[in-house]
Amino acid sequence: MNLDTLNWIDVALGGILIISALIGLMRGFVKEILSLIAWGVAAYAAWMLAEPVAKDYVSRVFNDEKIAYIAALGAIFIGTLFLIGVVNLLISQVLKMTGLGFLDRLLGLILGTVRGVLIGALITFAALLFSDGHPENELPSPLNQQWGSSVLAPYYKSAAQWGYDQIAPTVDSWIQDKLKKQGRDPKKPETANADNGANPAPAATLRPSGEDVGILKSPPATAPAVPQPEEPTLHGLESAQ
C-alpha cells in the first residue's frame, strides 16, 4: 500500500480502527463485552419495563403520563447500566488477581479491532446511500470523488455489503411475521380506504435483491410494455385499394 495515495477518508477510517483497538486493549475483553451487553440489556429492560413502572410507581410522583414514562425509561436504563457496571468492575478485579490480565487485554485488542471495522463499515454504508444510485441525494462531487479514490473504502464497502446481505432477510422475515400477526397479508395491498371508493395504497415491503443500486440491492424499476399500434405499410395501402 502506497501511503502517498491515501486521502483524508483513509486517515479517518484508519484512525477509527486504531482508536477502537487501543480502547479494547486498555479496557480488556471482559469489560468490552460486558459494556456491550450492558447497553443492550439496559435498552431492552427500559423498553419492556418503562410502561408498567410508570403506571404503578412513577405516576404517583408525576401526574403527566408522558413525563412519568420518560422518567421511568431513563431511570431503568441508567440503573441497569450502573448495576452491570458494578459487576464489570468486580470481574475485572478477579481477573487481575488470577493473572489472566494479559489474555484479557489481548482478546480486548481483537474485539476492539472488530468493533472498529464495524464502525467504519457503518460509516461507509451511510455514505454510499447518498452516492451511487441515488442522484437526487448524491454527495457533493469533491466528496464523492474522495470516496471513489479511497484505498480503504472498498474493503469497508465489502464488509458493509456482507452485513446487509445477512441482516436484510432477517428484517424482512420479521416484518412479514408482524404483518401476519396483525391479520394482514404482506403480499396484498392495503384496503383501508376501500369502503370510501378510494384506490387502496400498496403495502410497504422491503425490496428484494436484484440490481445493485449503490450498496443496496433492489429490482430494476421497469414499467409494463404497452403494445404500439402497427403503422400502415405501402403494401397494406395497395391491398386496401
Q: Is the pLDDT of residue 212 over 60?
A: no
Has residue 193 been placed in a domain?
Answer: no
Block residue for cell numbers 470516496: 147
Has residue 194 been placed in a domain?
Answer: no
Per DSSP, what are the bridge partners of residue 211? 218
Taking the C-alpha atoms of residue 130 and residue 150, their distance in angstroms, rounded to an integer, is 16
Domain that holds residue 7: 3-156
Looking at residue 187, what is its pLDDT?
Answer: 60
pLDDT, tens digit (0-9, with 9 covering 90-100), for 100-148: 778 888 988 999 999 899 888 888 887 777 655 444 444 455 566 777 7
pLDDT, tens digit (0-9, with 9 covering 90-100), for 53-96: 888 888 888 888 888 888 899 999 999 999 988 888 888 788 77
How many CB atoms within 10 Å of residue 109? 21
Has residue 72 been placed in a domain?
Answer: yes
Mean pLDDT calculated for residue range 31-42: 86
Distances (CA, A) of 198 to 23, 43, 188, 195, 214: 58, 41, 16, 8, 36
Looking at residue 207, what is its pLDDT?
Answer: 42
Residues in Cβ contact with 28 at an 8 Å cutoff, skipping those fewer than 6 apart: 92, 95, 101, 104, 105, 107, 108
C-alpha cell at 28: 480488556
Looking at residue 109, what is its pLDDT?
Answer: 92
* 130 compared with 9, residue with greater pLDDT: 9
Query: 83, 102, 80: which is closest to 30 by C-alpha?
Result: 102
* 6 compared with 201, residue with greater pLDDT: 6
Q: How many CA atoms lie within 13 A of 26 on its CB side?
A: 6
Taking the C-alpha atoms of residue 184 and residue 170, their distance in angstroms, rounded to an integer, is 19
Taking the C-alpha atoms of residue 226 and residue 148, their distance in angstroms, rounded to an integer, is 39
pLDDT, tens digit (0-9, with 9 covering 90-100), for 142-197: 566 777 778 888 888 888 888 778 877 887 787 787 777 777 665 655 544 444 44
Distances (CA, A) of 126 to 73, 120, 131, 208, 226: 29, 10, 9, 20, 38
Has residue 116 been placed in a domain?
Answer: yes
Number of domains in the chain: 1
C-alpha cell at 159: 464488509
| pTM exceeds cut of 0.85 | no
Taking the C-alpha atoms of residue 201 and residue 221, their distance in angstroms, rounded to an integer, is 18
Q: Is the pLDDT of residue 44 over 60?
A: yes
* 231 compared with 17, residue with greater pLDDT: 17
Has residue 84 been placed in a domain?
Answer: yes
Looking at residue 231, what is its pLDDT?
Answer: 53
Mean pLDDT calculated for residue range 4-27: 88
3-state SS, 110-122, equals: HHHHHHHHHHHHH
Has residue 93 been placed in a domain?
Answer: yes
Looking at residue 149, what is its pLDDT?
Answer: 78
Band (219; pLDDT cuts 50, 70, 90): very low
Has residue 69 been placed in a domain?
Answer: yes
* Element holding 148 (H helix, E strand): helix 141-149
3-state helix, strand, coil in the chain (%, to 5): 70, 0, 30
Per DSSP, what are the bridge partners of residue 124? none
Has residue 126 been placed in a domain?
Answer: yes
